[in-house]
Amino acid sequence: MEALCTTIRTHLTPVHGVSSLRLQNHLYGCYILLEDIVQKNVERVGTVITRQNVSFDVVKQFSEIGLRYGFAMDTQLLLAPCPADYQEAWIQVFTTLATLEEVDALEQKVSEIIEQVVPKEDGFFANAAETGSLSPQWVDRALNLLLPVTPVIEKEDPVPSTIPVKVIPASVLEKHKDNPKRLFASTRRKRNIVPPKKLLAMTRRKPNV
């Protein structure tokens, strides 16, 4: 557990912008998966996780956890290359933690790390943890990172006196918000009461009835 906390601090501290979004999304997905394992919402055999007849190997497909369980499922957020020490620490946790008390203790430690090292402008994880999904404002932030508005210059030969410029209009961002290929999770664990210093526990799914 301490090894995981150390590597999370190490890799979260220097990153910003889309790199921070990518790592936070993966981290969020790892916690959702960890709670599913402990609560037996999924079946784990070794490092293979099965849910509703769909299986994946958390070692071979570790970089995909954010896309499967995170708050944002855009393929640009695939965690690749993945830090080896970060992966090893999570695999150890996935295969050894067995109780919700252990999960809560880990969550408390890591929530404190996130509060300390992640700047407010990159607070995607904290926002998603409040309700189980990113708010519309934070979806906008994520889209602005994933879909930068940049001019595309087309050059012709010979070069004319006026070079045509294609500018991506702002409306493109609005269009992509409804694009089914860019999914932002909205069904993660939610709670009515939000403890101020217990970010991660807020992501719990309600028990299946």
The domain segmentation of the chain, as residue ranges, is: 2-137+179-203
Confidence of residue 157 (pLDDT cuts 50, 70, 90): low
Residue percentage of the chain with pLDDT more than 90: 62
Q: Which is nearest to 77 in space by CA: 58, 64, 60?
A: 64
pLDDT at 31: 92
Question: In terms of pLDDT, which residue wins out, 174 or 31?
Answer: 31
CB 124 within 8 A of CB 23: no
Work out the number of other CB atoms within 10 angstroms of the CB of residue 85.
14
**Positive or negative: CA dihedral 15, 21, 145, 123:** negative
> What confidence tens digit (pLDDT) does each residue in 160-209 have?
444 444 443 444 444 444 443 445 765 445 433 233 344 444 444 444 43
Strands (E), 105-188: 151-153, 165-167
> What confidence tens digit (pLDDT) does each residue in 37-53 have?
999 999 999 999 999 99
pLDDT at 128: 92
By the 10 Å C-beta count (0-12 exposed, 13-18 middle, 19+ buried), 29 is classed as: buried
Write the single-letter amino acid at 205.
R
pLDDT surpassing 80 at residue 90 = yes
